[in-house]
């Protein structure tokens, strides 16, 4: 048996994802992580969350990536304090570049059929829904220009990607039985 620090580092290397640990290093996962009590996992998850909040704005071009990781971790370690901090940071995100904002919208909508993203996560705390909707409206409030087009992989049809992200978020919001986002903004989706 290895010491706790080595096990913690292994856990943090994979953001505590049982799926990734078990797939990439099944022997370590089965002997080190599987037997861990839930309270240790929650403690380590919170450490990762705190580290991500601290470093979130170190590189504006990577905020979307840490944002996604925060959603996945907070899903496992749901508490009001984490949701409050998450929304506090999201209030700064309308200043991000357009690509980053599109990915943030995708993160919030969720990438699976169940739309299990950040929007659904925050909706588990209904008193934050109005605040969330205001933040999302601000993040989605931009116009794509001809100059936003790119040949970069995944960005050839930036308008289509933006439209799909907004539509997915609207589907997610409407499935939550809460008052959601304002009517679609077709005028902002055209180049």
Q: Give yes or no for a contact between 115 and 168, defined as CB atoms under 8 angstroms apart.
A: yes
The predicted-structure confidence for 159-186, as pLDDT tens digits, reads as follows 999 999 999 999 888 887 654 555 454 4
Q: Which residues, 6+ apart, have CB-to-CB distance to 45 below 8 Å?
A: 16, 73, 76, 77
Q: Which residues, 6+ apart, have CB-to-CB distance to 64 below 8 Å?
A: 96, 100, 103, 104, 107
The predicted-structure confidence for 92-112, as pLDDT tens digits, reads as follows 999 999 999 999 999 999 987
Enter the DSSP assignment of 111. S
136, two tokens = 């999302």
pLDDT of residue 2: 60
- Return the domain boundaries, the chain: 1-36, 41-188
CA 174/CA 163 separation, integer angstroms:
16
The predicted-structure confidence for 136-157, as pLDDT tens digits, reads as follows 999 999 999 989 999 999 999 9
Q: What is the 3-state secondary structure (H, E, C) of 32-83?
A: HHCCCCHHHHHHHHHHHHHHHHHHCCCCHHHHHHHHHHHHHHHHHCCCHHHH
pLDDT of residue 177: 61
Q: Give yes or no for a contact between 133 and 179, defined as CB atoms under 8 angstroms apart.
A: yes
pTM of the model as a whole = 0.88
């Amino acid at each position: 048996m290895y010491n706790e620090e080595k096990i913690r580092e292994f856990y943090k290397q994979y953001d505590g994802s049982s799926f990734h640990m078990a797939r990439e290093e099944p022997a370590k996962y089965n002997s080190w992580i599987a037997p861990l009590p839930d309270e240790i996992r929650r403690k380590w998850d919170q450490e990762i969350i705190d580290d991500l909040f601290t470093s979130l704005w170190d590189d504006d071009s990577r905020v979307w990536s840490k944002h996604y990781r925060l959603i996945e971790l907070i899903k496992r370690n749901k508490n009001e304090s984490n949701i409050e901090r998450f929304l506090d940071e999201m209030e700064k995100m309308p200043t991000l570049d357009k690509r980053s904002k599109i990915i943030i919208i995708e993160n919030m909508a969720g990438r699976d059929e169940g739309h299990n993203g950040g929007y659904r996560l925050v909706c588990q705390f209904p008193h934050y829904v109005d605040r969330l909707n205001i933040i999302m409206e601000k993040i989605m409030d931009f116009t794509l220009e001809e100059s936003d087009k790119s040949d970069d992989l995944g960005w050839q049809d930036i308008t289509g990607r933006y439209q799909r992200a907004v539509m997915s978020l609207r589907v997610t919001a409407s499935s939550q039985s809460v008052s959601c986002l304002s009517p679609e903004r077709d005028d902002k989706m055209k180049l």
